[in-house]
A and B are shown apart, each in its own frame.
Chain A
């Protein structure tokens, strides 16, 4: 153990870690990429040779210490190698978003002063060529995919593989220089520079040192027990800090294999073929997967449909207990006892599932006889009749049965069979989506992070996972809540600076190293979990000084499929009120099924039964909001359903569909006034802009209804019990 510590002390840069991995795992796969329909793989030793050769090739082009090498392309081993090769030369890799338009790319290239650019394909090269005449410092462009590149002017352009060949040829000339430059790397030299997405203002270049990356990767790998036999699928943009941490930081520290998909379009197939054990995806991806499953289940046979419904319902309560992967205890060889137990459980699972399927098939046949037209409505699947075990064991075997019939095949289809740890982050994930994956036995957790923190600020430990928190501070990270509710952190991963931007650095990071996240949140009493409520600048105070976090409540409302948008008011007032936008697809569908006729969006929105439905949703949200002592003031007292959809053409939303609060407050001032003066209905006239730019007006009389507000103390006690 002590030896290992000493060894690790020397691994103070990514190239050093790479050398160590060659020693430790030389013949294990380090990178895989699917090409020409086959997974090509490189062992650590092979990858290290390639990277070295590439670094020497860079030297032959004249890469100097401190140069910036921009890398633009999809996830491919060659691009990851280019980053490490750049570090070997003492240069700084700068991965860029490949879907950026030429203009955005120009800004970043200009700002970092890159002399060398590695492009993925012709498309990226074109963009660089387009802006080259404005940015004079680009000296050489390299490309990975040779396709369509023959006609270009090759005086300052080369295929990356030719550079590698050049490096191999110049081995003797450059090896001394490379060794010297690697030796110069310290724990505090720059590891990578990543640009923030720049949703507010120009993108900023976040400088992360070796210390930031390696410390963070070490801590987080230990937190989730990541070892050399993990498999990850690298499909997230390379310019994003998460991908750098997962595919380079943690992969180098833990020594696991990085798999690159064949093309973005084959990501799902490749996911299935690789079956990663460690996986990260934004909520959107989990959502899409779930939607696909649901759509395909609707088309499935009745028996499958019934069993799916039954077992998913069953898993909701029990998945957490029976489904989660247990952490492997390192044992050299399974004992006979464990083998027997495993065989017994497996055969029991199969036995019960055959029984369940046969029983249910018979029941379905009988139901079909009685209700030939609507058998799906009357048929509900059941677990096995034969119940020879006491309750806890029965649940266990029921879950095993579900595992054999539904969960395992489903996980296999999704490519999530082998998942040990999966993370989601970036935005709030719907609780029912979260629960769906958890109950299948997929260890999906949430984390909260930032580029400036080298990702990890907080994450959820195993066994303490919930949809509404983002977990406890990651190992080595200190978190405190500022006076206005803003979250501050200090960690070994805290960025060095914004490149060439001392002003922004100073305003973000104070002298003691505390960094403001810009998000408001609070620690939950008892559990110590952090909950993020909103962007700090959007969080306000109500008249009596209680916290007002509109987005927190709006997100809760928007998780209902019937609600498309919600706008909550209450800053500086004594109570909260809300505008609701119904989702025409979902509510329209519902109306059709319930024989509610409507001629227009406006009519449907004003329908008493729609109001009733929305009120139920709001009541539920109020009950859940009341459980938070900090936010109980945000319960919605009165609401109305808007007669038109909030629209970007009318300036009510941004193009990325974020609500513009002040525009709405101004435009609908009469409605807001009515929400607070106790009126039960209000007539209004709203100007709308049609898609062709013409303007028109909608007149409407809107009803205003009261929602029931939950008393906070009582509910809180119930929840605590």
Chain B
């Protein structure tokens, strides 16, 4: 098994660093419903970590715990060697955790460019007044941010829809814009909630390529939830499998694939 402190090198030559985030004994309850039951796992720097599981397994809740939207009932979230206190989501965003949503959450009336610019809000320093008056540092700052955004637009190959209102775009492109917005925040950890749901094969392939390229180019640590097993097995370095709020498997894709609990969870068990 891999060394827990030091990183390792994947088969295709990427460097995976040490532990970036560690989730320790997370339990999440909504009243009497237990969404997550005592789950622990870690996320290493630079890796693509997948969370899979049948419907209602608690994957999205887990993502919400990571993104700080839910505060776990029990357990601790350790980020970069420090225990993360309960935080508002915007504070978590400032720490460098960006996400996309299962149901696209973009501003429909705004152009693609403006939508992606909103991703950089957490990084903007100039005050409300100077931004409103478009004076002093604000203009300069916006230029710098725009440059970064243009690089992302170029990277995700959405130049042709730069000025198009998001509401007019097809689903696959909206997903891509959402990824762009998450990337614009220059995240340490990128959380993708079903980035490929409802896409056709070609769009899925494109999205896979982008996720791999993002990881490869920017070294962004990526956590993704996905149902398409082929995609998960191809993309991810390590996989967490959840079922009914419990963790039933954790490890590299091949290992998880052969795990009896995982097979049972997906295919069902005969009750005799």
List residues of A whose CB falls within 8 A of some B CB. Answer: 35-38, 147-148, 150-151, 262-263, 265-266, 269
Residue of A nearest to B150 (CB): A36
Residues of B near A265 (CB, < 8 A) are 159-160
Tell me whether B216 and A151 are in contact (CB under 8 A). yes
Across-interface contacts of B155 in A (CB, < 8 A)? 147
Q: A151: which of B13, B113, B150, B157 is its contact (CB, 8 Å)?
A: B13
CB of B154, distance to nearest CB on chain A (Å): 6
The answer to the question of B147 belonging to the interface, with a C-beta cut-off of 8 Å to chain A, is yes
Q: Name the residue on A nearest B217 (C-beta).
A: A147
B228 within 8 A of A: no
Question: Does B83 sit within 8 A of A, measured CB to CB?
Answer: no
B154, A35: Cβ atoms under 8 Å?
A: yes
B12 at the interface (CB under 8 A from A): yes
Query: Smallest distance from the beta carbon of A625 to chain B beta carbons, Å?
Result: 44
- Closest residue of B by beta carbon distance from A146: B217
13 CB < 8 A contacts A-B = A36-B153, A37-B146, A37-B150, A37-B162, A38-B150, A147-B213, A148-B217, A150-B216, A151-B13, A151-B216, A262-B160, A265-B160, A266-B159
Closest approach, in angstroms, between the C-beta of A267 and any C-beta of chain B?
Answer: 9
Cα A159 to Cα B159 in complex, Å, equals 23
Main SS class of interface, B: helix
Return chain B residues, CB-CB under 8 Å to A151: 12-13, 216
B113 CB contacts on chain A under 8 angstroms: 37
Contact of A263 with B159 in the complex, beta carbons under 8 Å: yes
> Is there an interface contact between A37 and B216, defined as CB atoms closer than 8 Å?
no
Closest residue to A145 on the B side, CB-wise? B154
Judge whether B151 is part of the interface by a CB distance below 8 angstroms: yes
Residues of B within 8 A of A (CB): 12-13, 113, 146-147, 150-151, 153-155, 157, 159-160, 162-163, 213, 216-217
Q: Is the CB of B160 within 8 A of A36?
A: no
Provide the bound-state CA to CA distance between A266 and B146, in Å: 19
Known: A36-B151, A147-B213. A262 touches B13 (CB 8 A): no
Query: When chains A and B are docked, how far (Å) is the Cα of A445 from the Cα of B163?
Result: 33
Hey, which chain B residues are within 8 Å of A35, CB to CB? 154
Q: Among the listed A37, A148, A150, A269, which residue makes an inter-chain contact with B153, where contact means beta carbons less than 8 Å apart?
A: A37
8 tightest Cβ-Cβ pairs between the two chains A and B: A36-B150, A265-B160, A266-B160, A37-B150, A262-B159, A266-B159, A263-B159, A148-B213
Min CB gap B111→A, angstroms: 12
**Nearest Cβ in chain B — how far from A637, in angstroms?**
50
A262 and B162 alpha carbons, distance in the complex (Å): 12
Bound complex: CA A151 to CA B9 (Å): 13
Chain A proximity of B160: nearest CB distance (Å): 4
**Contact A148-B216, Cβ < 8 Å, known A36-B151, A36-B154, A37-B153:** yes
Residues of chain B within 8 A of A37, CB atoms compared: 113, 146, 150, 153, 159, 162
Rounded to whole Å, the gap between the CB of B180 and the closest CB of chain A is 13
CB distance from B185 to the nearest CB of A (A): 19
Give Cα distance in the complex from A470 to B28, angstroms.
77
Separation of A262 and B150 alpha carbons in the complex (Å): 12
B residues less than 8 Å from A269 (CB atoms): 160, 163
> In the bound complex, what is the Cα–Cα distance between A74 and B3 (angstroms)?
46
Q: B212's closest neighbor in chain A, by CB?
A: A148
Q: How far is the CA of A677 from the CA of B163 in the complex (A)?
A: 64
Question: Is the Cβ of B157 less than 8 Å from the Cβ of A263?
Answer: yes
The distance in angstroms between the C-alpha atoms of A36 and B157, with both chains bound, is 11
| A262 and B217 alpha carbons, distance in the complex (Å) | 21
Shortest beta-carbon distance, B217 to chain A, in Å? Answer: 7
- A35 vs B213: C-alpha distance when bound (angstroms): 20
Residues of chain A within 8 A of B157, CB atoms compared:
263
* Chain B residue with the shortest CB-CB distance to A150: B216
Point out which of B151, B153, B154, B155 has the most chain A C-beta atoms below 10 A from its C-beta.
B154
Min distance, Cβ A93 to any Cβ of chain B, angstroms: 27
Closest A residue to B14 using CB positions: A151
Contacts of A263 in B (CB 8 A): 157, 159-160
Q: What is the minimal beta-carbon distance from A126 to any residue of chain B, in angstroms?
A: 12
Which residue of A has the minimal Cβ distance to B155?
A147
A151 to B216, CA, bound (A): 9
How far apart are the CA atoms of A265 and B153 in the complex, in Å?
A: 13
B162 neighbours in A (Cβ, 8 Å)? 37
Q: Is the CB of B216 within 8 A of A36?
A: no
Contacts of B163 in A (CB 8 A): 269
A37, A150, A269 pick with most chain B CB within 10 angstroms: A37
Q: Compute how far the CA of A262 lies from the CA of B160 in the bound complex, rounded to whole angstroms.
A: 8
- What's the nearest-Cβ distance from chain B to residue A666, in Å? 40
